Amino acid sequence: MQQPSGVSPHPRDSGREATARLAGGTSAWLPPDAAPAGGAVPPLTDRLLRSWLRCRRRAWLDRHGPPEARRWSAHRALTLQDQLHSFQSLLPTRPAHGEAAAQAGAEGVVGLRLRGAGPGGLRLEAHPPLLHRVEGPSRWGAHAYQPVLVRQGRHLTREHRLVLALWGRLLAAEQGAPVPHALVLAGAGHHLQRELLKLGGGLQQQLEEVLPRLAQELEVGREPPPLVNDRKKCTLCCWRSLCDREASAEGHLSEVSGIGGKRRDLLLSLGVTSLEQLAAADPQALANALEDHGEQHRNVAADLVAQARVQASGEPRRRAPGDPLPELAAAPGVLLYDIESDPDARDDFLHGLLRLERGEDGWPEAAGAARAPYHPLLALQEHGEERLWQRLSGLLERYPDWPLLHYGETEAISLLRLAERQGATEAERARLRRRLIDVHQRLKRHWLLPVNSYGLKAVATWLGFRWSQRGVDGARCLLWWRQWRQDRHRAGVPPRRAAQPLERIFRYNRDDSLATWAVARWLLEAAEPAPPSAATGSHRRGHEELRP
Ligand code: SF4
């Protein structure tokens, strides 16, 4: 058989077991069935490879971590949903299952588990989500297959390439024919993009180098690799809670709000290795040391030390005098504004407004706010933006003197752009701009808090606020949104059940507004001439009160 430049068949399994000696499970996390001492070493899988390429520690946890600490991820569910839509756009019919389907020459095959041997006899296993039929002889007849991957993001990453290389290698052995290319998809429907990736040469060489390193790090008895340097990567990881706890316990520098991967590297190079050390540093000396790496680093040195000190002490500290929310001094009420979006579709599908009136005794407490009228304005694309704007601007005009409070810049940007697209005049937009108050920005300008992030979740939780639905985030909300869009006109789905996802989205959106109010109220109270410690006392007071 001619050997093209792609991946050529390897023996299905050379029979050589991996020779890595199991070191006897010293980790407290090691589950009893992770890798039995003296037993067969579990194979390296495509999933482990993918995890390892994202974060070395993640692969270790996938194999040895406590299964109960793994969290379900709405983001993964969204990814699988996108993958399904891309596959449905590619194939005219449902894919068939397993070896029999490959034998029969089905256009799409799922459920084929591929096994083979890697460098040094490492046992390998992979489960590509879809194989696509191509022309060319294989052990199944006059047709062969290529693996299909759905790309998330704009570009193919190293992770995509190496996972495809592994699929190609094992598939070549399975079908007894080369796999010169993999098919990469992105988007769905009319927007489906296809790209062929060459699987030969350098990519296979990289795989040969990477697999033994992965195998070595997964050996029983090895300590887990350190937390990833850039902890932004942790946002979507199923091990996040576990790693967050560890980061907090060890005073990892990434716990200091404002320190990302690069800044952490810089601090480590200067011998500052933990939150406590940063808190103890002399700001001026640190600024001087950081100056060599750029003026921007010098300028933030004092802020980083101050933030670390606040986190180490657990006490908030005022960083600028004055009232953070002077616009509220004479306001008859506020509108709390929060948008839910589908970022991939660039669709702001819900504009939620909570109408909070000032009473004779002043601003309502949490319990009063929880009774405030809520206006969820759904923005269905099929209804057009004009209709949304009419409802939204009509509501805003009914309360012309009420400031519009939101957390983060998204709401202001989206609303002003919407107004512009809908023909609002410059004067109208300027008025709108004056009404918009970013509570997040005011908080950061006036206060340092003992939190590792100034995101709404972290800040409001520190204040004692609790969301009424546990574990919900933007990705979960987006899942509900897609589910509702799918089910609302589907025959056989009872109306009550079809409406449930939307009710959950409204609840989540309303809670976000209440959480924003919890922060705003704390700022109002803290603006009064009470010492910060008293303010701390007030935030600790009555967690129950803050429940929506
Ligand atoms: S949470 Fe972060 S450090 Fe932990 S395994 Fe995941 S990516 Fe790695």
Digitized pLDDT (tens) for each residue of the chain, 548 residues in all: 333 345 555 433 332 232 222 223 333 344 433 444 456 789 999 999 999 999 999 999 999 999 999 998 898 999 999 999 999 999 999 999 999 999 999 999 999 999 999 999 999 999 999 999 999 999 999 999 999 999 988 899 999 999 999 999 999 999 999 999 999 999 888 889 999 999 987 999 999 999 999 999 999 999 999 999 888 889 889 999 999 999 999 999 999 999 999 999 999 999 999 999 999 999 999 999 999 888 888 899 999 999 999 999 999 999 999 999 999 999 999 999 999 998 877 899 999 999 999 999 999 988 899 999 999 999 998 888 999 999 999 999 999 999 999 999 999 999 999 999 999 999 999 999 999 999 999 999 999 999 999 999 999 999 999 999 998 988 999 999 999 988 887 878 788 888 899 999 999 999 999 999 999 999 999 865 544 444 444 444 333 334 45
- State the closest ligand 1 atom to the C-alpha of 247, by its place in the atom list counted from 1: 3
446 phi and psi angles, rounded to 5 deg: -105, -20
Q: Are 163 and 49 in contact (CB under 8 A)?
A: yes
Considering only CA atoms, which residue is closest to atom 3 of ligand 1?
Answer: 227
Distance from residue 237's CA to the centre of ligand 1 (Å): 6
Does 233 contact ligand 1 (Cβ within 6 A)?
yes
Neighbours of 207 (CB within 10 A): 23
Does 63 contact ligand 1 (Cβ within 6 A)?
no
Which residues fall within 8 angstroms of residue 23, CB to CB, at 6 or more apart? 219, 220, 221, 222
Q: How far is 301 from 313, CA to CA, in rounded Å?
A: 18
CA 409 to chain centre: 19
Considering only CA atoms, which residue is closest to atom 4 of ligand 1?
Answer: 243
527 phi and psi angles, rounded to 5 deg: -70, -25
What beta strand segments (E) does 139-286 contain?
141-150, 181-186, 193-198
On the CB side of 97, CA atoms within 13 Å amount to 1
**DSSP per-residue letters across 437-488:** EEHHHHHHHHEE-S-S--SHHHHHHHTT---SSTT--HHHHHHHHHHHHHHT
Does 61 contact ligand 1 (Cβ within 6 A)?
yes
Roughly what angle, to the nearest 10 degrees, separates helices 410-421 and 385-398?
Answer: 110
Which residues fall within 8 angstroms of residue 34, CB to CB, at 6 or more apart? 25, 63, 64, 220
Does 57 contact ligand 1 (Cβ within 6 A)?
yes
Q: Which of 17, 53, 11, 12 is nearest to 35 (CA)?
A: 17
Q: Output the pTM of the full model.
A: 0.83
What pLDDT, on the 0 to 100 scale, is given for residue 548?
53
Residue 435 to residues 338, 356, 389, 404, 432, Cα–Cα distance (Å): 15, 15, 17, 5, 5
Considering only CA atoms, which residue is closest to atom 1 of ligand 1?
Answer: 240
Considering only CA atoms, which residue is closest to atom 7 of ligand 1?
Answer: 234
Q: What is the 8-class DSSP label of residue 541? A: S
Does 504 contact ligand 1 (Cβ within 6 A)?
no
Q: Compute the Cα dihedral for 77, 78, 79, 85 and give only its sign.
A: positive
Q: Which residues are bridge partners to 7 per DSSP?
A: 179
For a substitution probing ligand 1, which of 73, 76, 240, 254 has the most ligand atoms within 8 Å of its CB? 240
Considering only CA atoms, which residue is closest to atom 2 of ligand 1?
Answer: 234
Does 53 contact ligand 1 (Cβ within 6 A)?
no
Q: What is the 8-class DSSP label of residue 54? A: H
